[in-house]
Structure 1
Amino acid sequence: MIKKIVVSGAIFCSCLGFARAASDYPATDTTDLLKKDSVPATRPLPADPKAGFKELFVPAELSNGMRVEQLNPLAVGFVKDYMEKNSTSLEEMKDWARPYFDMIDGILTQHNLPRELKYLAVIESKLQSNARSWAGAVGPWQFMPTTARTMGLTVNRKRDDRRDLSKSTHAASKYLRSLYTLYEDWLLVIAAYNGGPGAVNNAIRKSGSRDFWTLQKYLPAESRNHVKKFIATHYIMEGEGGITTLTKDEVAYWMTSGPTPAADVPDGQIMRPISGRYQAAVIASFLVMPVTDFNQLNPDFDKLVAVNGKYDLRLPADKMELFQSRKPEILATSLQYILNPGMPLPAGSEGK
């Protein structure tokens, strides 16, 4: 249950400070916020990464009666648009940013925070240590000087810890925990990280709701879109059904039968390891081959990609060449297909 937020004059003013002063709300000292509302170090936050993302996923029922969780329909349109513009660069980031993600994951885990919060740094700065906003926010987590110092970072002419990925991630974790104490909902936390708790409290008061999708119209446009960018990035990087976004029951369901072993690669075929949320139907369409033939070469493709995010793809040599040449487009279409399985494949995807 979301904790009731008492907005007194003093607390309201103290809540106006935030990590990235990019809205019209003034950045002020966050010391009072941390002293009064910070989470004790011994208090664990939800172990389930989705526990605080309750409005990001909604329950649904499969044809076999199994209950699953899917992306909130209210986010689908924004995610689709964001995919078209950013899915390729984000997929590339999965490779070059892996060491940085590993470091951030470790620190977030130390602070009992969901590892998915690393995608906040992606939309803040694309993980660039030298990133600087027009307002003076600096580093991967885009801290303003006052908030950075409050979180224990050194910021002066000789040294700026905001540029240090490890130190700034510890500081961001501390700040995110304090915001989570106020809202117990990560979508509201992300809105507050961008626009300030004051902006979120104001939206809660005006809307009479603590549901992001209800109160979003009362948020500054930048904060509202910041949350949606996070949702889209989270979805592209993890993919529906990946281990970090599947419930335990879903994982058990997909894994009960175990992987179906594929035959050795015969002459005339090529095997290439791939990663990403590709879909068998989409690949087959782009390669102009029956999906039954594709599945025969690649048993349990959709199931194993959903769980592992990886697969040793097997194709005839000419089809593999075509796949390689259209790989980014196939992936982008696959991600859209995951969001809307009933959609017709784009006109012209076949035969190009």
Structure 2
Amino acid sequence: MSSVDLREPSARVDRSGRQRRATAPLVVALSLLMIAWLGDDAVNRVTDADGDTAAGLSIGTLPLERNASVERWMEQLQTTRREEFQALLESSGVFEDLIRGKLRERSMPEELLYLAMIESGLSPLAESRVAAVGLWQFMDPTARDLGLRMDEYVDERRDPVRATDAALDYLFWLRARFGSWYLAVAAYNAGPARIERILELYADGRTGNEAIYWEILRHLPRETREYVPRLIATALLAADAEALGFEDSDARAYEYDLVYVPGGTKLPVVARSLDVHADVLRDLNPHLIRDVTPPGEMYALRVPAGHGPAVVASLGRVWPSPNVD
């Protein structure tokens, strides 16, 4: 984001100034888990400057183990699926800095970036045949449990910032639950209840060891069997992409200013005031599903980096007191 930005709001605010975002069940569970883990130091270590990330908490690295399953994926991504992999690398430039930055804030493995690449091709508008949506492919119930907003105006599963925060919260919780990044990633794909049942049946309920994933591999759903090997292969190849003949991404990074605007502000109106195409604002605000901010509340709109003051000046001629830091 630009230096003139407001911080991302942690709650919606109505005209009376009251917060309207309820605390979701998984958010409560995550907070309790961290407090139990960290004790009296929990608040200082779990809360960062924005008040809602797990900064400074180290929970291990993601091992990049090479075996036959991983090697098979590495071969495919360099041969029969090479064009697909190149396209993914090219698209990664838009959100890579955003996701890596949030992973670093939480001391989580940066290789988890490639989970979003596998899930959605790093497209906020991606929607699967089973109605999973966004960069991190959240289904409706999980998204609501994680506190994401979904209504007739906003679908935060499509919000690169909100959805990434929610995904990393969820992955952190899964890693703490299973004690293994491989099992956490498998549970992200198949669901934690299913992974727990498989562990009970085929691993005596054991957790806490990366090797357990490979022990139960043949008992996992087909898609999940391929999920971790593909993630490892993607991370290994991406780390050495240039040497392997892949081209770097030249996509423009996701950068913006935040401006609080009144409810009902139409994106095309703001776009005209900036002399940019409305698609520029749609790309920055893919979560606004009707091209308009929700009525009845001030809303933090993302505009092109450096253009926040111009939006404030433009809207100030129509509505009082839009603001930008």
Task: Give the alignment's TM-score, normalised by structure 2.
Answer: 0.55
Secondary structure class of the residue paired with 1:97 = helix
- Cα separation, partners in 2 of 1:75 and 1:170, compared to 1, 3 Å: same
The DSSP-based 3-state class of the residue aligned with 2:80 is helix
Q: How does 1:240-319 map to 2 (within 5 A)?
A: 276-278=242-244
Q: Determine the C-alpha separation between the residues in 1 that align with 2:232 and 2:132.
A: 22
Cα distance, 1:108–1:229 mapped onto 2, change above 3 Å:
same
Whether contact under 8 Å (2:27, 2:147) holds in the other structure is: no
Separation in structure 1 between the aligned mates of residue 191 and residue 29 of structure 2, nearest angstrom = 12
Give 2:166's aligned amino acid: A
Aligned to 1:85, the other structure's residue is in SS state coil
Q: Quote the residue 2:79 is aligned against.
A: 84
Q: CA deviation at 1:31?
A: 6.2
**Change in 2 beyond 3 A, CA 1:222/1:36:** farther
Task: Note the C-alpha offset of 1:278.
Answer: 3.2
Task: Report whether the alignment pairs 1:113 with 2:79.
Answer: no
CA distance in structure 1 between the partners assigned to 2:141 and 2:166 by the alignment: 12
RMSD: 2.7
Unpaired runs of 5+ residues, structure 1, are: 1-28, 58-70, 240-274, 280-308, 310-352
Distance 1:152 1:84 in 2: 41
Q: Percent identity at matched positions?
A: 29
Task: Give the corresponding residue for 1:283.
Answer: none
Contact kept in structure 1, 2:58 and 2:106, CA below 8 Å: no
Q: Distance in 1 between matches of 2:139 and 2:26?
A: 11
1:53 matches 2:62: yes
Determine if contact 1:78/1:232 at 8 Å carries over to the other structure.
Answer: yes
> Post-superposition shift, 1:189?
1.0
Q: Name 2:231's counterpart in structure 1.
A: 230
Quote the offset at 1:111 in angstroms. Answer: 2.2
- 1:159 pairs with 2:160: no
Q: Which amino acid aligns with 1:235?
A: L
Q: Quickly say closer, same or farther: Cα 1:73–1:46, change in 2 above 3 A.
A: farther
State how far apart, in whole Å, the 2-side matches of 1:129 and 1:230 are.
19
Aligned partners of 2:173 and 2:232: how far apart in 1? 21
What secondary structure does 1:226 align onto? helix
Q: Does 1:185 align with 2:154?
A: no
Aligned pair partner of 2:141 in 120, 140, 146 = 146
What's the offset of the Cα at 1:75?
A: 2.4
Query: Residues 20-59 of structure 1: matches in 2 within 5 Å?
Result: 30=26, 33-34=29-30, 37-38=33-34, 42=45, 44-46=56-58, 51-54=60-63, 56-57=64-65
Distance in 2 between the 1:218 and 1:234 partners?
24
Count of matched residue pairs: 201
The alpha-carbon distance between structure 1 residues 111 and 200, as it changes in their structure 2 partners (threshold 3 A), is same
Structure 1 position 207, deviation (Å): 2.2
Contact 2:73–2:233, Cα closer than 8 Å, also in 1: yes
Q: Would the aligned equivalents of 1:131 and 1:138 in 2 still touch at CA under 8 Å?
A: yes
Partner of 1:215: 216
Q: Partners of 1:32 and 1:96 in 2: how far apart?
A: 34
Distance 1:155 1:46, change over 3 A: same
Q: Deviations over 1:126-152 (max 9, x none)?
A: 011111122221111011122212222
What secondary structure is seen at the aligned counterpart in 1 of 2:89? Answer: helix
- Contact persistence 1:119–1:230 (CA under 8 A): yes
1:201 equivalenced with 2:184 (yes/no):
no
What CA distance in whole angstroms lies between the structure 2 residues aligned with 1:94 and 1:34? Answer: 32
**Who is 1:170 aligned against?**
165
Q: TM-score, normalised by structure 1?
A: 0.51
* Bigger RCO (CA 8 Å, 6+ sep): 2
Following TM superposition, by how much is the alpha carbon of 1:84 offset from its aligned partner in structure 2, in angstroms? 2.3
Q: Shift in Å at residue 30 of structure 1? A: 4.4
Q: Which runs of 4+ in 1 moved over 6 A?
A: none
Inter-partner Cα distance in structure 1 for 2:91 and 2:62 = 27
Which is greater in Rg?
1
CA distance in 1: counterparts of 2:102 and 2:90, whole angstroms = 20
CA–CA separation in structure 2 for the residues paired with 1:137 and 1:103: 21
Which 5+ residue runs of structure 2 have no aligned equivalent? 1-24, 47-55, 249-325
